[in-house]
Structure 1
Amino acid sequence: MSFTVFQFHPQIQKALDTSGYASPTPIQAQSIPPVLAGRDLLGLAQTGTGKTAAFVLPLLQRLHTGPKGKVRALIIAPTRELAEQTHSYIIKMAEHTHLRSMVVYGGVSKQSQINAIRKGAEIIVACPGRLLDLVNTKIINLSTVEMLILDEADHMFDHGFLPDIRRILSKVPRQRQTLVFSATMPKEIRSLAEDILTNPATVQIDHTKPTASISHSFYQVEQRNKTNLLQKILLQKEITTAIVFTKTKHKAKSLAYQLQKTGCRATSLQGNLSQQKRQLALEGFKSGTYNVLVATDIAARGIDVSGISHVINFDMPSTAETYTHRTGRTGRASCSGEAYTFATPDDNKMTRALERSLGKKLVYKKESGLKEKMQFSGDRREHQPSAGISKKVSLTAGTRKFPRSQTVA
């Protein structure tokens, strides 16, 4: 199947040809036709499957004709990184059109955004907080919006953005086209999404099924031993680039600092960072200055980095769908990848959910299979036995409780 089947305007097709895009991905092939037809849509697919193009391309086609200089499309994203990523893609695909896009989020100069708005734009990509600020001060007028897109909707709904989304909905026309895209969509979140959709087309592309090119490894470990285990894995496995997921912003920051003290090229990406520091962290990870990025789930949305060799779940995800989304950041574009997950005795409920998602019993690696912890000293690795590291025994099929650990002196 070729993109030419959609009969995009020649100026849009030219951008596709220049970028080397020949064939649509499944989410694009199934989403673009109903969006072009003007239908609301709920699109569910794993990360890295091309959801951004699935709404940007038909959006550009629909806006190509019609008035200019007024806001006709609004794209809401949960993070600044995702907003920037989407905005950059729009600029790329709209290069040969007269459509203009701008990005709006907090943490940077409001005046520079106001100046850009006054120049006129048909498309706004925004995070909820700064958008509402500019709407409430009448800098942005949403009364002319024809298309509303919620990207990564699960995280907007699930991380406290719902009140802001409701306020934004009250500012846009009721007669509009609404698209909701997400990598994960628990049942309770799906019901919220469907509240704002009218007779939507639904596209689901194995959004709960882990990517086949990823190998999954699990380690039994007590909470207090997680950091030592992570250090040993980072030193002894063939890890070129890795994202390490934690539950909280504070833990992401402190864990990255602990890794740095051992000589690891690590940085963190979490909500407490200023926009400048977030950009430095992300750019450093992309360029190779850092090869380990410690992040929370929501901060990691919008990270567009190819060639990630490993994903490490330092903390167990809260749902099987979140596990799929996290691990999907490796093994992209048919490349192989590895996912490591640390499981404590308190994670039994989640491990059973992962067994159902993966379709098999989880086999746990022995922590004792790794050598004693080593630390960096400059560019040399110095061998230092680690006291208090637990020796683990792998689970056998059907075993639910963790075995007792033995302490290696």
Structure 2
Amino acid sequence: MQTPATFADLALAPTLRAGLEALGYTALTPVQAQALPAILAGRDLVAQAPTGSGKTAAFGLGLLQRIDTTIGGTQALVLCPTRELADQVGKQLRKLATGIANLKLSVLCGGIPLAPQLASLAHPPQVVVGTPGRVLELVQKDALDLRGVRALVLDEADRMLDMGFDEPIRALVKRTPKDRQTLLFSATFPDAIRTLATAMLREPVEISVDGGAQPATIETHFFEAEPARRAPQLAALLLQFNPASTVVFCNMRKDTEEVMGSLAHYGFDALALHGDMEQREREEVLVRFSNRSCNVLVASDVAARGLDIDDIGAVVNFELPTDVDTYLHRIGRTGRAGRNGLALSLVAPNERNRAALVEARLLEQGGAPIRFERIAALDGKPRGVPQATMATLRIDAGRTDKLRPGDIVGALTGETGLHKDAIGKIDVYPTRSYVAIARAQADRALERLRAGRIKGRRVRLHRL
């Protein structure tokens, strides 16, 4: 059978064409070309595929194809490791489902109040996207019935197991029909994933998309770290390479705040992202990083799983992770979509054994041996630290207020006289919205918006 090259080559329902057109999808990515024929044929699937490979559209089209909106009950369940990833998956599935009338999709995650989710389940959604813990909690409260599930997706299964979701996943699977279709996606394939696949899937098709290996477009550097001066060395690296946007990975969540504080001291627009933050805090950090109001994000591995931005200029390992797959997954966040990437690693003497494992994997894949470089730590506060190009305004109104991005653009260009080129990314949530404004014009825009109206009404605004 010939491998399809475009979505037009697939036997997709006409209702899915509208979503593909809305997203501008025509050519298939490698994971879509390999996975979709099997998924559409109803086969179980195990896919090794990294973040950013197009896997959401692959499983999304498959499960939406099987939805029957003429009957009630939950027919598809997608489990994700984090709230951020679940939100992103939910948004993309809604776009893919643009042409499907009367489809209800709910995102059910922990970290937000349970009562609104319980109320929303009075009319069961056909599609549920959520984190294992919260979905299981709702099932155990008899608020969610999984007996009608036709398709089950385990997205980023390796991270769900890393986060301790093994038992909740198994408990949920037992609540679904045995003849369901199961799709498992994982960036890495440790033994625990193979055990999970054996227990839950029936004669699955196995595919692998090369993404764990270091892409050729990523330039890598390893630097000798002085443990006591690692933070000023990090600042020196950012000044020397001057990437437009950077994700700095820390192994411990407590380190993210300390490193962020050190970078802020040197004058960088840095924010931290870790698992102890409240949902709104996490959302606002991700919004500000993605809209260029912050140019350095200091993150833990788990918190960064929901980060899906194609043009990250550089990834920095503040310290090397304890396993090679995590290293490869980290650096795979730069150099996407045909752009060149940059990966910088600070390696202390007690981390040389980790570096040796990374080097062995790279050599297996035809790469070069690691050559350690030196970087002098900053001494004092530097001049000319690059600033973020944008600033973010938060508007305390959103989708529930019928606010749309066009309303915000209209208010900014009309009420404030701001040129549309000064307006960046706009994110609209149920009760609040965020808009990026060119940094030099943000205060003026805020002042004039406060004096005026958006969509005929006054709203509260804040500069973040």
TM category, shorter: 0.7 to 0.9
Deviation string, structure 1 residues 165-201 (Cα, Å, up to 9, x no partner):
1221222222211111011222343333332222111
Q: CA deviation at 1:335?
A: 0.5
Give the aligned partner of residue 32 of structure 1.
Answer: 36
Q: CA deviation at 1:270?
A: 0.7
Equivalence for 2:308 = 304
Letter matched to residue 12 of structure 2 = F
Which among 36, 53, 57 is matched to residue 57 of structure 2? 53
1:364 maps to what in 2? 372
Q: CA 1:197 to 1:215, structure 2 compared with 1: closer, same or farther past 3 Å?
A: same
SS at match of 2:38: helix
**Is residue 30–residue 203 contact of structure 1 (8 Å, CA) maintained in 2?**
yes
Separation in 2, partners of 1:158, 1:290: 29
Question: Which residue matches 2:328?
Answer: 324
- Name the CA distance, whole Å, in 2 between partners of 1:373 and 1:241: 23
TM-fit CA distance, 1:358: 1.8
Q: What does residue range 383-402 of structure 1 map to in structure 2 within 5 Å?
A: none
Counterpart Cα distance in 2 of 1:206 and 1:264: 35
- Give TM-score scaled by structure 1 length: 0.88
Q: Does 1:219 align with 2:227?
A: no
Which residue is 2:75 aligned to? 72
Q: Distance in 2 between matches of 1:346 and 1:194?
A: 38
The alignment partner of 1:356 has SS state of helix
Q: Is the 8 A contact 1:145 1:176 kept in 2?
A: yes
| 1:203 equivalenced with 2:207 (yes/no) | yes
Q: Does the 8 Å contact 1:158/1:189 carry over to 2?
A: no
- Aligned counterparts of 1:379 and 1:323: Cα–Cα separation in 2: 28
The alignment status of 1:250 with 2:254, answered yes or no, reads yes
Q: How much has 1:66 moved relative to structure 2?
A: 6.3
Written as runs of structure 1 = structure 2, the 5 A alignment for 1:228-239 is 228-239=232-243
AA of the residue aligned to 1:309: G
CA contact (8 A) 2:52 2:310 kept: no
Looking at structure 2, the residues matched to 356 and 62 of structure 1 have their Cα atoms a distance apart, in angstroms, of 44
Where do residues 141-220 of structure 1 align in structure 2 (5 Å cutoff)? 141-220=145-224
Closer/same/farther in 2, CA of residues 340 and 106 from structure 1, 3 Å limit: same
Give the gaps of 5 or more residues in structure 1.
382-409
CA distance in 2, matches of 1:266, 1:332: 22
TM-score (norm 2): 0.78
Structure 1 residues 109 and 376: alpha-carbon distance in aligned structure 2, compared to 1, 3 A threshold = farther
Question: Shift of residue 67 of structure 1?
Answer: 4.6
Residue 20 (structure 1) aligned with residue 21 (structure 2): no
Counterpart code for 2:358 = L
Aligned residues: 378
Deviation at 1:157, TM superposition (A): 0.8
The change in CA–CA distance for 1:180 and 1:206 in structure 2 (over 3 A counts) is same
Q: Secondary structure of 1:258's match?
A: helix
Question: In the alignment, which residue of structure 2 is the partner of 1:113?
Answer: 117
Deviations 1:1-32 (A, max 9, x none): 21111121122112212321111100010001
**1:393 aligned residue:** none
For 1:380 and 1:100, locate their aligned partners in 2 and report how far apart those are by CA, in whole Å: 45
Q: Which amino acid letter does the alignment assign opposite residue 162 of structure 2?
A: D
- Say which is worse superposed, 241-250 or 159-168, in terms of deviation: 159-168
Deviation string, structure 1 residues 206-235 (Cα, Å, up to 9, x no partner):
143111111111111132221111111122
Distance 1:357 1:205 in 2: 17
**8 Å contact 1:208–1:320 — kept in the other structure?**
no
Q: Provide the secondary structure at the position in 1 that maps to 2:337.
A: helix
- Aligned to 1:355, which of 356, 359, 362? 359
Preserved CA contact (<8 Å) 1:91 1:100: no
The 8 Å contact of residues 152 and 182 in structure 2, kept in 1 or not, is answered as yes
TM-superposed deviation, 1:298: 1.2
8 A contact 1:264–1:376 mirrored in 2: no
Confirm or deny: 8 A CA contact 1:235 1:374 kept in the other structure. Answer: no
CA displacement, residues 320-344 of structure 1 (integer Å, 9 cap, x when unaligned) = 2222211111101111010001112
Task: Provide the residue aligned with 2:274 in structure 1.
Answer: 270
**Residue in 2 that maps onto 1:133:** 137
1:374 and 1:212 map into 2 onto residues whose CA distance is 36
Taking the TM superposition and a 5 Å limit, the aligned residue runs for 1:373-392 are: 373-375=379-381
Residue 259, structure 1, aligned to residue 270, structure 2: no
The answer on 1:104 being equivalent to 2:112 is no
Corresponding position of 1:85: 88
Residues 1:44 and 1:89: Cα distance change in structure 2 (over 3 Å): same
* Equivalent residues of 1:218, 1:342 under 8 A apart: yes
Aligned counterpart, 1:337: 341
Deviation per CA, 1:232-284: give whole Å up to 9, x if none: 11223221101111111111122212222222111111110000110111111
213-222 or 371-380, larger mean C-alpha shift: 371-380
Contact 1:42/1:202 (<8 A) preserved:
yes
**Distance in structure 1 (CA, Å) of the matches to 2:155 and 2:52:** 14
Task: Kindly indicate whether the alpha-carbon contact (under 8 Å) linking 2:80 and 2:131 is maintained by their aligned counterparts in 1.
Answer: yes
In the TM superposition, residue 116 of structure 1 has moved relative to its aligned partner by 2.2
Q: What do you get for the CA RMSD once the two structures are aligned? A: 1.9
Contact in 2 for aligned 1:214/1:330 (Cα 8 Å): yes
* Counterpart AA for 2:165: F
* Partner residue in 2 for 1:402: none
What letter matches 1:61 in structure 2?
A: Q
Q: Return the letter of the residue paired with 1:2.
A: T
Cα drift, residue 374 of structure 1: 5.0
State the SS of the aligned residue for 1:293: strand
Q: Percent identical across equivalent pairs?
A: 36
* Corresponding residue of 1:405: none
